[in-house]
Amino acid sequence: MKKDMIDYHCHLLPALDDGATDREESLKMAGILSRFGFSTVHCTPHRIKGCYENDPPRVTKTTHSLQRLLDEAGIELRLIPGGEHYLDEFLPDQLPGAMAFGPYRCLLVEVPFGSGSEMLQPMVSSFSEHGLTPLIAHPERCRAFEPVVREQGLRGALSFVLGRNKAEDPDCSALLTLRKAGCRFQGNLGSFAGFYGSEIKERALLFLKEGVYSCLGSDAHRSEHLSKMLTAGFEAVVSAVGDEAAMRLLCGSDLENA
């Protein structure tokens, strides 16, 4: 396992959201992530208006503070400030000055688990206006994509994710539009490990095999069971697509070397 892997989705920063509760927990998580092989971690606390008001200055300050603690503790991780932006009516106002990364100027977006499909097209337009690319977090867990999966099965849904089927179907418009608009997708290692159930694992593995994902992330919130989840998820990814493809995803080659 290489030491230059990148975690694109992690709730490592202390006391900003439902992730690490304090600095001690952050240090425990950081140690596990480093030993696993990550060299870079995108710190992506939730940004939800009225719930987690994590604007760029606050996240940047907390990231720099935690980086100093890691350096003092000898934990070799490079932290990058970011956020997991909730897809709601307030998201467009957060785009100016957002902490985008990479050649595509990616920004991690969480589609509401309960729905959110009606907001996908406006999101794509808003991001385009600001020269940003939505990086959709854990699409395998998003209910906004369930209608087509339910009606056509996983492989039928996937044909629309990849733009292979030209038939017009309103249930599939969300997946087709996102793919054609150039959105990127981030898979959770925990999904491949089965931490969210067998159905989500099955969908994640199918998306993985068909090349839907551009990168992976831990989506870590706690140190408990984190090492087990990372190892199991990694092994499942390697088993499905092989070492080379797994490392491309874990090193973010599609996002960092465009």
- What backbone torsions phi and psi does residue 163 show, to the nearest 5 degrees? 75, 25
Segment 218-223 mean pLDDT: 98
**Is the pLDDT assigned to residue 190 strictly greater than 50?**
yes
Determine the Cα–Cα distance for residues 184 and 74; give it in Å rounded to an integer: 33
Residue written as tokens 């425990």? 28
Q: What is the CATH number of domain 5-256?
A: 3.20.20.140
For the chain, the domains span 5-256
> Whole-number mean pLDDT of the chain?
87
Confidence label for 153 from pLDDT (cuts 50, 70 and 90): low
Count other C-beta atoms under 10 Å from residue 210's C-beta: 16
Q: What is the percent of the chain with per-residue pLDDT over 70, rounded to a whole number? A: 83
Confidence label for 166 from pLDDT (cuts 50, 70 and 90): very low
pLDDT of residue 168: 45
**Is the pLDDT assigned to residue 127 strictly greater than 80?**
yes
Segment 146-154 mean pLDDT: 51
Conformation bin of residue 136: beta by default, left when phi > 0, alpha when psi is -120 to 50: beta
Amino acid at 75: I
86-109 as b/e, with b when 16 or more CB fall inside 10 Å?
bbbeebeebbeebbbbbebebbbb
Please answer whether residues 26 and 20 qualify as being in contact, where contact means their C-beta atoms are separated by less than 8 angstroms.
yes
**Is the pLDDT assigned to residue 170 strictly greater than 70?**
no
**Is the pLDDT assigned to residue 238 strictly greater than 60?**
yes
Q: What is the percent of the chain with per-residue pLDDT over 90, rounded to a whole number? A: 71
Please answer whether residues 233 and 190 qualify as being in contact, where contact means their C-beta atoms are separated by less than 8 angstroms.
yes
**Is the pLDDT assigned to residue 108 strictly greater than 70?**
yes
**Is the pLDDT assigned to residue 161 strictly greater than 50?**
no
pLDDT of residue 21: 97
Show the CA angle centred on residue 122, arms to residues 58 and 97, nearest 5°.
25
Higher pLDDT, 199 or 72: 72
**Is the pLDDT assigned to residue 159 strictly greater than 90?**
no
Please answer whether residues 45 and 83 qualify as being in contact, where contact means their C-beta atoms are separated by less than 8 angstroms.
yes
Amino acid at 226: L
Segment 81-110 mean pLDDT: 95
27-61 as b/e, with b when 16 or more CB fall inside 10 Å?
bebbbbbbebbbbbbbbbbbbbeeebebeeebbee
**Is the pLDDT assigned to residue 205 strictly greater than 80?**
yes
Segment 225-249 mean pLDDT: 97
pLDDT of residue 86: 95
Tokens of 26: 């952050």
pTM of the model: 0.89
Segment 243-247 mean pLDDT: 96
**Is the pLDDT assigned to residue 125 strictly greater than 60?**
yes
- Pick from 136, 258, 151: nearest CA to 207: 136
The predicted-structure confidence for 14-70, as pLDDT tens digits, reads as follows 999 999 999 999 999 999 999 999 999 999 999 999 999 999 999 999 999 999 999
Segment 95-113 mean pLDDT: 92
Within 8 A by CB and 6+ apart from 164, the residues are none
